[in-house]
Amino acid sequence: MKSTSSSIDTPRRSMRIALPWLAVALAAGMWFMTRESNASRRTFAPPTSVALVNISVLFESLDEAEASEKALDAKLERWVTEQAKAADAYRAAEEEVKLQTPWSVEWIETQRRIAEYGGKLQSLDTVLKSLKSRDRGAMYRRMYAKACVEIEKIAAAEGYDIIMLDDRTYYELDNEDRWGTRTAAETFLAITSRQIIYAKNSVDITQRVITAMNNAFHAGN
């Protein structure tokens, strides 16, 4: 009797041992099936279409920018002429003082004129730089606003989602000056300031923007 009972208990013990593992296996199977089912129903966002514009190349290639530079030169011609006259007078006085006796009345007067011409040259240089910078700033704002209009048109026509400025040429890493290479901090700043590390040439739409803006400029004229 004892041996019979032992033989009956053995399958029962085996079942008790197997049941927890069976439950784990069933749970794992259910989890896997649920995950696969969710994955099959999951919707993925469509890829984002991106293009780049090199703003430096853009500004340098616009016919309107070239015309604006010529207009600026004409506007500043009076100042440039006055600066040239002051420079000629300054050089003439420097040559004149070489022939005069130091600390004579003539020598002192010529030195006074040299200082006067030098101060005038410095003032004119400051004025010219300020006027050029101000007018160029206005031109850049105007060109950028027009570029945004054309870029939006191209984006709508070509289906671009994002158009970014190509800043890979803004922060040169291998520039050297007369003191040698950049410091570690300067190099690290140049690296971390970049937004674009790599891009195919095919995503550059700068030339299309240039063509569109030049056509619009000449059509307006």
Q: What is the pTM of this model?
A: 0.67
- C-alpha–C-alpha distance, residues 180 and 175, integer Å: 9
110 touches 100 (CB < 8 A): yes
What is the DSSP-derived secondary structure letter of residue 204? Answer: B
User: How far does the chain reach from its first CA to its final CA, in angstroms?
Assistant: 116
Q: Give phi and psi for 77, each to the nearest 5.
A: -60, -40
Q: pLDDT tens, 170-209?
A: 766 665 554 456 778 877 887 888 889 899 999 999 999 9
Question: Rounded mean pLDDT of 38-54?
Answer: 78
Question: Rounded mean pLDDT of 128-132?
Answer: 92
Looking at domain 50-166+204-220, its CATH architecture is 2-Layer Sandwich (3.30)
- C-alpha–C-alpha distance, residues 182 and 177, integer Å: 8
Domain residue ranges of the chain, discontinuous segments joined by + = 50-166+204-220
pLDDT at 175: 58
